Amino acid sequence: MGIAEDDPTGIRSFVAGGISGAAFLVTGQPFDTIKVRMQNQEKGSVYRSSLDCLRKTVYREGPRALYKGMSTPLLACIPYSAVWFLGHDHMIRFQQHVLGREEMSVLNHGIGGLWAGVYMTFIIAPGERVKCLLQLQTDKRKAHRQYSGPVDVLRQTLRTGGLRQVFRGTFVTALRDVPGSGLFYVLYQATTQRYGETSSSVMLAGGLGGMAMWLWGVPPDVLKTKFQTAPPGKYNSFLDVAPELYRREGPGAFFKGFAPSGMRAFLANGVCLVVYDLVMQAWKKYLPTTTNKHQLYSTV
C-alpha cells in the first residue's frame, strides 16, 4: 500500500479510507454480531458453536438481527477507517523525512500501522461499547429491550455513569488495535511485495493482514466485550476480567469467537483494501494533482 506522492496532506488516504471503511463494516457486521454473542455467553450455555449461534439468531430474530447495532459503528467506522489510513500515511511520510528516502521497508510500514492504531482507538472505543450492548439484546419484542437504539444507549450511559462510562474499555481497545494494526501492515506489505498489487493479491494481502490482526486481537477483544457489557461496578478495570474468566472457563475462553472473527477479518479486510485501492486509482485517474518531491518532504 503505497502513499500518493502528489498528496502531501493525505486527503486521498482519508477519503479512500472512509469509503473503504463503510465497505468493511457492511461486509463484516454479521460475523461481528456472532462473535460478540459467543464471547459474552458462559461456556456453551446458549450456543454450542458459531454456526449454532448463527442459526439460532436468524431463526429467532430474523436476518436483520445480524446487523444489530450497525448504525453507530457505521457513523464511527467511516472516520475511524479514514483516520486509520491517514495515520499510516502520516507516519510513513514522517519516516521518509527522517530517513531521507522514499522507499519504505515492511518494518517501516509496520511502524506506520502502530501509529495508525493509535489514531483510530479514541474514535472506535465509544462506538464499540454502544455496538456490543445492542448486539446482546436478543428479545424480538421492543418493549422488553433495555435499549431502543444507539442514541438511547448513549443517553442511558451518560445519565448513569457520565462520559467516563461512554469511553469504558478504551485502553483494552488500544491493546487490541495498536499492535494488531502494526501486524496488519507488515503482512499486507510483505504479501503485496511478493505477489504484486493486482485486485486478487490485494484481496489476499488484506485478508491475511486482517487475520494476523485478529490472531493478536481476539484475547483482548474478549476482555473488552466482557468489560464493556458488564453491569456498572462489577469490574474496576479490564484486568479484573481475566482471572475470573480463566477460573470459570479455562484458557480457551480467551479465544471465544475466533472462528467468526477470522472469517470476518479475512473477508472484510480483503474487501476494504480492494475498495481503498480502487478509490485511490480512480482519484489519481480523474482528479490528478502534481507535487514535487521537495514539497512532499517539506510537509511532514
Q: What is the CA radius of gyration of the chain?
A: 20
Say how many C-beta atoms besides its own lie within 10 A of residue 53's C-beta.
Answer: 22
Q: What is the grid cell recorded at 15?
A: 477519503
> Is residue 191 pLDDT above 90, yes or no?
yes
Nearest to 89 by CA among 1, 19, 25: 1
Q: What is the pLDDT of residue 234?
A: 87
Each residue's pLDDT tens digit, 272-288: 999 999 998 888 888 77
**pTM to 2 decimal places:** 0.73
Dist. CA 291–CA 5, nearest whole Å: 7
Using the predicted structure, report yes or no on whether residue 294 has a pLDDT greater than 50: no
Structure confidence at residue 48 (pLDDT):
83
**Residue 31 pLDDT > 80:** yes
Across the range 194-201, mean pLDDT stands at: 91
Cell numbers describing residue 257 = 469467537
Q: Output the pLDDT for position 142.
A: 67
Q: Which class for 266: exposed (0-12), middle (13-18), buried (19 or more C-beta within 10 A)?
A: buried
Report residue 291's pLDDT band, with 50, 70 and 90 as the boundaries. Answer: very low
Higher-pLDDT residue of 154, 74: 154
pLDDT at 255 (0 to 100): 85
Confidence category of residue 148, pLDDT binned at 50, 70, 90: confident
Give the helix ranges, DSSP H, for 136-198. 150-166, 170-195
pLDDT of residue 120: 85
Query: For the segment 209-266, what is each residue's pLDDT rounded down to a tens digit?
Result: 999 998 898 899 889 888 888 887 788 888 899 999 999 889 988 887 777 778 888 9
**Among 75, 93, 73, 85, which Cα is nearest to 184's?**
85
**What is the reported pLDDT for 3?**
54
Query: How high is the mean pLDDT of the chain?
Result: 83
Contact criterion met (CB below 8 Å) for 117 and 180: yes
pLDDT at 110 over 80: yes
**Is the pLDDT assigned to residue 99 strictly greater than 90?**
yes
Q: Are 4 and 291 in contact (CB under 8 A)?
A: no
